[in-house]
Amino acid sequence: MWYDATIEKVLIDDAQVQAKIRELGQQITADYAGKDLLLVGVLRGALLFIVDLARQIDLPLEMDFMAISSYGAATETSGVVRILKDLDTAIEGRDVLIVEDIIDSGLTLNYIVEHLRNRGPASIKICALLNKPSRRRVDVKIDYHGFDIPDEFVVGYGLDFQQRYRNVPFVGVLKPETYTAPPGE
């Protein structure tokens, strides 16, 4: 494949990702029966995850999206968060489930939760596919979570390096030299 030469190792393969999403979908289906579920995907990293997750939830639901930008170095969040796209849906009185690709420092998610809480939803919970516990800077309660991973920068299954690699079907780690290559190489 186009990416083979740049991938150091596969951390979580496609089958493991999909099996975990089926499990998460079953839990969410049980917990949200009879509720007014709104999945909120955080663009762009959570795009692949939310699409697969939604198909594993056996309930009526709606989906909406937010886009966030955080200022900081290429592979680090600064904690300063800016909303590039807000929800189109009113969330007052609704059961909101935020769907994230990965929780690293927790700063992005912390900001989103505070921002949405002001609008009076009935509930806000968090579903994240990946978690880097060793990197946490603020406490975030993850209600549904897929995999704990070590402190390594990962790509694939929605996660990017310089906007590429989102379409890689597994979660993997890039070779160190990939980070230092000039853009476009």
Interacting residues toward ligand IMP by CB under 6 A: 45, 77, 100-109, 153-155, 159
Could you tell me if 159 and 101 are in contact, meaning their C-beta atoms sit under 8 angstroms apart?
Answer: yes
6 touches, from ligand IMP, Mg ion, none (C-beta below 5 to 8 Å by class): none
Q: How far is the CB of 66 from Mg ion (least distance, A)?
A: 10
Tell me which residue of 153, 154, 156 sits closest to 168, measured CA to CA: 156
Could you tell me if 79 and 105 are in contact, meaning their C-beta atoms sit under 8 angstroms apart?
Answer: yes
Q: How far is the CB of 104 from ligand IMP (least distance, A)?
A: 3
Give the rounded distance of the alpha carbon of 42 from its chain centre. Answer: 6
The residues annotated as belonging to the active site are 104
- Site membership for Mg ion, residue 156 (CB under 5 A): no
Q: Distance between CA atoms of 168 and 2, rounded to whole angstroms?
A: 9
- Site membership for Mg ion, residue 121 (CB under 5 A): no
* Residue among 25, 45, 106, 172 that touches Mg ion (CB under 5 A): 45
Q: How far is the CB of 102 from ligand IMP (least distance, A)?
A: 5
- Site membership for Mg ion, residue 146 (CB under 5 A): no
Strand-pairing partners, residue 40, are 64, 98
- Site membership for Mg ion, residue 106 (CB under 5 A): no
Could you tell me if 171 and 152 are in contact, meaning their C-beta atoms sit under 8 angstroms apart?
Answer: no
